[in-house]
Amino acid sequence: MARFYLEKGKVAAFIAHLQSQKPVYAPHRKGRNAFAFAPVERPQDVVLDYPRTVSSIKKYFMPAREELLSFNLVENTCAQPAVAPLDAVFLGVHSYDVQAVLKLDHNFVTGNPERNYLTRRQGALFVGVGFTPDRFHFSGSVGIPAGDTSGCDLFLHHCEGGYALETLTPAGEGLIAGFKLPAHTAGLPAAAAFQQHIYVPQAKLKDVLAHGYDAAVWEEEAEKCVSCGTCNLVCPTCYCFDVEDEVDITATRGSRERHWDGCLLRSFTEVAGGEVFREEPAARQRHRVFRKFKYISDETGEPWCVGCGRCTAACTAGISIVSIVNRLVNDYDAVKA
């Protein structure tokens, strides 16, 4: 659509302009080296140049804990709590995290559309921002360049002295209406290259994964894995959950709550009587990687991993999803070459 020049010195005013319209969520510094999305209180606290946040913005549409039902134990009745649309601006989102939301949309729209997710998702606008890939990012290998604007309403491209603000949707245009900005006429600097790569084109991944079910890499990586489930917790496209009932101290009321769960945890497949269907850590490793590159991908035709690098950056045992996939590629090439 159009491009405007947003100089660094005007960013706080720009954020304040967004805040005058809707609540704004943006990355903030958390501790010394971590970043997290949080509601913006003071525009100057927003950090637009960051490697990655600990969790993605998934936490706003599918909170880590949420009430599905509230119940009254005396009356033996229950009710569904009202969920409100967030109707907010998500500012400073990296391309892979915007794509991750679109993937979650797929999971929550297809089959049985889910009300809580779809309600929270209403009215959300995305203002993307470019980033410099670090040693964990590899979204370029899964079809998401660092400057990918798809799914965004506005996008902030880094440029000399500030940002080239690109409008992408009528809603995005509406957000900047009334905020005076000069046009950006210069070209955009080339996006920084990725340091991490999956060695094959996306199209070939399907064959690689189909071939890799019994690969040695599962056992080898599983030897390091401590089954902590951190990779699941930080993944922007993981959406599996568990449901538990909580009773308050009066024992008359309570709620049925869902919380994020993870397929790397041993208890994930446990059924009544104690049988565990993915008992071996290697089987759980494979399940996670297959969920990201095969099972959903075979149906949708695209990887369900967005290349954010969070699982690798956060892994307590140093397991890298890129290395796993590249090992599978090598195995495949060794046989098929």
Partner 1 sequence: MTKHELIAPAATKDLYLPVMAEITDVRQMTPLEKLFEIKLPGGVALGHRPGQFVEVSLFGVGEAPISVSSSPTKKGAFELGIRKVGMLTEMIHRMQPGERIGIRGPFGNGFDMAKFKGKDVLVVAGGIGLVPLRSMINYILDNRGDFGRLIICYGSKSDTDLLFEDERRLWERDPRVEFHLTVDHGSPAWQGRTGVITTLIPGLDLDLPNTLACVCGPPVMYRFVVLALKSKRLAEENIYMSLERRMKCGVGKCGHCQINGSYVCQDGPVYHYPDIKALREAL
Cβ-based nearer residue to partner 1, 20 or 72: 72
- Should residue 171 be labelled a site residue for partner 1 when binding is judged by CB under 8 A? no
Single-letter code of the amino acid located at 167 = T
- Should residue 109 be labelled a site residue for partner 1 when binding is judged by CB under 8 A? yes
- Should residue 254 be labelled a site residue for partner 1 when binding is judged by CB under 8 A? yes
Per CB under 8 A, the list member of 263, 308, 319, 328 interacting with partner 1 is 263
- Non-local (6+) Cβ contacts of 34 within 8 A are 53, 54
Q: How far is the CB of 161 from partner 1 (least distance, A)?
A: 32
Cβ-based nearer residue to partner 1, 76 or 185: 76
- Residue pair 246/254 in contact (Cβ under 8 Å)? The answer is yes
Radius of gyration, CA atoms only, the chain: 22
Beta-bridged to residue 70, according to DSSP, are 79, 255
Over the window 197 to 236, marking each residue x when it contacts partner 1 by CB under 8 A and - when it does not, the resulting string is ----------------x-----------------------
- Should residue 257 be labelled a site residue for partner 1 when binding is judged by CB under 8 A? no
The pair of three-digit structure tokens given for residue 260, joined into one six-digit string? 């994020």
- Should residue 273 be labelled a site residue for partner 1 when binding is judged by CB under 8 A? yes
Q: Using CB under 8 A, which residues numbered 41 to 70 contact partner 1?
A: 68-69
| DSSP conformation class of 136 | S
- Should residue 153 be labelled a site residue for partner 1 when binding is judged by CB under 8 A? no
- Should residue 272 be labelled a site residue for partner 1 when binding is judged by CB under 8 A? yes
Q: Please state, in angstroms and rounded to a whole number, the distance separating the CA atoms of residues 250 and 187.
A: 65
Q: How far is the CB of 20 from partner 1 (least distance, A)?
A: 25
**DSSP H stretches of helix in 77-236:** 95-109, 115-121, 170-176, 202-211, 216-224, 230-234
Strand arrangement, sheet containing 24-30? 2-7, 162-167, 154-159, 125-129, 89-93, 24-30, 34-39
- Residue pair 142/198 in contact (Cβ under 8 Å)? The answer is yes
Q: Please state, in angstroms and rounded to a whole number, the distance separating the CA atoms of residues 87 and 110.
A: 22
Per CB under 8 A, the list member of 20, 44, 80, 316 interacting with partner 1 is 80
- Should residue 330 be labelled a site residue for partner 1 when binding is judged by CB under 8 A? no
Over the window 115 to 134, marking each residue x when it contacts partner 1 by CB under 8 A and - when it does not, the resulting string is x--xx-xx------------
- Should residue 285 be labelled a site residue for partner 1 when binding is judged by CB under 8 A? no
Residue 158's nearest CA partner among 129, 122, 125, 115 is: 129
Q: How far is the CB of 61 from partner 1 (least distance, A)?
A: 11
Q: How far is the CB of 18 from partner 1 (least distance, A)?
A: 21
- Residue pair 97/60 in contact (Cβ under 8 Å)? The answer is no
Binding residues for partner 1, per CB under 8 A?
68-69, 71-73, 76-78, 80, 83, 99, 102-103, 105-115, 118-119, 121-122, 150-151, 213, 239-245, 247, 251, 254, 256, 258, 261, 263, 268-273, 275, 277-278, 283, 287, 290-291, 294-296, 298, 302
